[in-house]
């Protein structure tokens, strides 16, 4: 009998550089037995030779060195495992690359850990790093209040810092599901419950991660079938495209947007596969409809339940990639799935440095290369779209200037 492969969840860990991120990652690897063979013993010997306690920061430095030299570890293998699933830590070098990867679709975090030093409390850099969670619309968030050993595991200190970070997160629309007092160095509340904090009755970091949901497989989402073209073959009018999410079956009702026309699937047409009755996300197919419709490239078929949004104005987080800045009201082309429509950036509400996440300006006039903006885009006609965190392919877009792709964007609201 085939062994069922464990699912992989992608997570991102953010927080001030000195608040213990490397130690937490090292501890997660160590406590779950996910280290390369011999690495734990090597680390113990190194620390003993230096007359120091086991330091997980050293472990991450060592792994990063090997990664740089491409000896045993590369970025795709940065994972730890629990009984439930494997976890991949997305750790691009710097926020700039991470955000760029997110908006262009190379990596999609499904959960996040925000680490805060309980002895120092919330710092400016903590706020900048927390903003990335808001920027990407991440909903599954753990706040780990680290270094509880430095504040004698006191509940009062935990409650004070928890209140401070929650007030800030609330202001940027991030609602953590768990706030956990931890000591990454000592292992408190990482893989096992801490005896030092009997006042805390919540789950450990690993239990919290395991309680999070994987993103629905695209087949479990609502139907999205962007039209690529319309062919006339053997007297049939065949509408072709790729099912980006959901599924369809012969006889099922369909809604065509932006026209708001209703019909049903008459047949599913696939070369050399006659008589297909069903198709699912990932299938490139042709369909015929029960009613004659005016259908064009860029239209989107969906089911009446779970319809996408449709508007000629959309709010988005934009990563600008061109050396030449984008200015307000400049003519551009927006491409979302198979849709292609003229547009302008009507407002740049906020402009951020993508490396430091420093807020540079509010109500800006332009975005420069590698900057991130919270923007309002006005399209020449209605665009069919989804929240990026629900359906990626219709929640992600690019902007073109002439023939050049100059920006990537995600719609998170």
Ramachandran category for residue 251: left, alpha or beta (phi over 0 → left; psi -120 to 50 → alpha): left
**Tens-digit pLDDT string for the chain (413 aa):** 444 567 888 888 888 777 888 889 888 988 898 876 676 677 677 767 776 666 666 665 555 554 444 333 333 346 889 999 999 888 666 677 777 777 766 677 889 999 999 999 998 888 888 888 887 888 899 999 999 999 999 999 999 999 999 999 998 889 999 999 999 989 999 999 999 999 999 999 999 999 998 876 666 789 999 999 999 888 889 999 999 999 999 999 999 999 999 999 999 998 777 788 999 988 899 999 999 899 999 999 999 888 999 999 999 999 998 999 999 999 999 999 999 999 999 999 999 988 778 899 999 999 999 899 999 999 999 999 998 888 888 999 999 999 888 998 899 76
* CATH number of the structural domain spanning residue 392: 2.40.30.10
Together in a domain, 275 and 313: no
Count structural domains, the chain.
3
- Residue 1 domain-assigned? no
- Residue 3 domain-assigned? no
CA atoms within 13 A on the CB side of 307: 14
pTM of the model: 0.79
Together in a domain, 142 and 259: no
Q: How far, CA to CA in Å, does 180 sit from each of 51, 115, 155, 173, 198?
A: 31, 10, 11, 19, 13
Between helices 124-135 and 155-171, what is the axis angle to 10°? Answer: 50
Query: Domain boundary residue among 242, 275, 302?
Result: 302
Cα angle for residues 406, 409, 412 (degrees, 5° grid): 170
Together in a domain, 40 and 183: yes
For 198, residues 6+ apart whose C-beta sits below 8 A from its C-beta are none
Together in a domain, 78 and 129: yes
Q: Are the C-beta atoms of residues 61 and 22 closer than 8 Å to each other?
A: yes
Residue that the structure tokens 């000896």 belong to: 71
Distance of alpha carbon 220 from alpha carbon 173, whole angstroms: 27
- Residue 153 domain-assigned? yes
Together in a domain, 82 and 181: yes
Together in a domain, 324 and 293: no
Distance of alpha carbon 293 from alpha carbon 164, whole angstroms: 56
Query: Domain boundary residue among 252, 286, 302?
Result: 302
Q: Where are the beta strands (DSSP E) in 103-167?
A: 111-117, 141-146
What range does the domain containing 101 cover?
8-211
What is the enclosing helix (H) or strand (E) of 24?
helix 21-31
DSSP class of residue 219 equals G
For 40, residues 6+ apart whose C-beta sits below 8 A from its C-beta are 30
Together in a domain, 275 and 290: yes
Together in a domain, 199 and 223: no
Distance of alpha carbon 258 from alpha carbon 243, whole angstroms: 17
Together in a domain, 376 and 401: yes
Query: Domain boundary residue among 245, 274, 302?
Result: 302
């Amino acid at each position: 009998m085939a062994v069922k492969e464990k699912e992989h969840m992608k997570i991102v860990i953010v927080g001030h550089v000195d608040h213990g991120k490397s130690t937490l990652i090292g501890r997660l690897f160590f406590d779950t037995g996910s280290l390369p063979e011999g690495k734990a013993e090597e680390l113990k010997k190194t620390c003993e030779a230096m007359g120091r306690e086991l330091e997980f920061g050293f472990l991450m430095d060592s792994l990063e060195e090997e990664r740089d030299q491409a000896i045993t570890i590369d970025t795709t293998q940065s994972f730890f495992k629990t009984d439930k699933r494997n976890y991949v830590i997305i750790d691009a070098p710097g926020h700039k690359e991470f955000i760029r990867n997110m908006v262009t679709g190379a990596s999609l975090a499904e959960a996040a850990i925000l680490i805060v030093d309980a002895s120092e409390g919330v710092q400016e850099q903590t706020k900048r790093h927390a903003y990335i969670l808001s920027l990407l619309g991440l909903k599954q968030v753990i706040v780990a209040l680290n270094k509880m050993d430095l504040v004698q595991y006191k509940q009062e200190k935990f409650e004070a810092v928890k209140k401070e970070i929650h007030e800030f997160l609330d202001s940027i629309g991030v609602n953590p599901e768990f706030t956990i007092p931890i000591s990454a160095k000592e292992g408190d509340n990482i893989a096992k419950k801490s005896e030092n904090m009997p006042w805390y009755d919540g789950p450990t970091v690993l239990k919290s991660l395991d309680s999070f949901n994987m993103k629905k497989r695209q087949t479990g989402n609502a139907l999205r079938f962007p039209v690529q073209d319309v062919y006339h073959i053997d007297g049939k009018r065949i509408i072709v495209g790729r099912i980006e999410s959901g599924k369809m079956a012969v006889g099922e009702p369909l809604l065509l947007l932006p026209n708001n026309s209703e019909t049903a699937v008459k047949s599913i047409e696939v070369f050399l596969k006659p008589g297909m009755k069903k198709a699912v996300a990932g299938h490139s197919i042709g369909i015929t409809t029960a009613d004659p419709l005016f259908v064009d490239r860029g239209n989107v078929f969906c089911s009446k339940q779970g319809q996408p949004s449709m508007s000629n104005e959309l709010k988005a987080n934009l990563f600008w990639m061109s050396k030449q800045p984008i200015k307000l009201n400049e003519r551009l082309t927006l491409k979302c799935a198979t849709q292609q429509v003229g547009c302008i950036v009507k407002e740049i509400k906020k402009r951020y440095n993508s490396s430091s996440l420093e807020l540079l300006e509010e109500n800006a006039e332009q975005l420069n290369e590698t900057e991130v903006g919270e923007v309002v885009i006005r399209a020449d006609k209605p665009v069919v779209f989804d929240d990026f965190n629900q359906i990626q392919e219709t929640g992600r877009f690019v902007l073109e200037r002439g023939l050049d792709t100059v920006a990537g964007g995600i719609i998170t609201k």
